[in-house]
Amino acid sequence: MGDGEARDVAARLHSSAIRLLRTLRREDDGSGLSAPRLSALSMVVLAGPLSLAELATAEQVKPPTMSRIVDALVERGLVTRVAKPGDRRSVEIAATADGRQLLEAGRERRVGALVKRLGALADSERRALARGVEILERVTR
């Protein structure tokens, strides 16, 4: 496979990913949470307890921005923010049961919408897509 073909795959994968997430984003209306808050909550749930700086870095945002987002999530009881034992400068942000449940419900809506779209595919196509996704997982890891 030549360079030009790799470039072609990359460009089309890029476009498809954008279109896919743009479509699925519409499912987030029901969550009652804005995109930045939902994304931050997702990171806390999936990547376990994090410091503010870690969370800000993961979300590609500066610490003051993340500090306010965490304020709002704490306010709604979706995460907790406690001083880290052993280094009281730092803070541990962890998901609550409510936070995990809210995220899971949203994820179900998104994944459900995607499953519905996959229903239009033939069995062999779904298998080929599954194989592609396995490879994509290695690329993004």
Q: Tell me which residues touch its own copies (CB under 8 A).
A: 1, 3, 5-26, 60, 107, 110-111, 114-115, 117-121, 123, 125-141
101: nearest Cα among 124, 78, 126, 67: 78
Give me the residues paired with residue 80 across strands: 94
Q: Which of 14, 19, 26, 62 binds DNA (CB under 7 A)?
A: 62
Smallest distance, its own copies to C-beta of residue 118, A = 5
3-class secondary-structure state, position 80: strand
Using CA atoms in the order 93, 97, 98, 99, what is the torsion angle rounded to 10 degrees? Answer: 40
Q: Decide if 44 contacts 34 (C-beta within 8 A).
A: no
Partner whose footprint covers residue 52, from its own copies, DNA, none (CB < 5 to 8 Å by kind): DNA
Q: Which of 48, 63, 112, 132 binds DNA (CB under 7 A)?
A: 63
Candidates 20-28, 66-74, 95-103, 114-122: pick the segment binding DNA (CB under 7 A): 66-74
Q: Decide if 24 contacts 114 (C-beta within 8 A).
A: yes
79: nearest Cα among 111, 110, 33: 33
Partner whose footprint covers residue 9, from DNA, its own copies, none (CB < 5 to 8 Å by kind): its own copies
Q: Which of 2, 3, 5, 88 binds DNA (CB under 7 A)?
A: 88
* Interface contacts to DNA, rule CB under 7 A: 34, 36-37, 51-53, 60-65, 67-70, 72, 81, 86-91
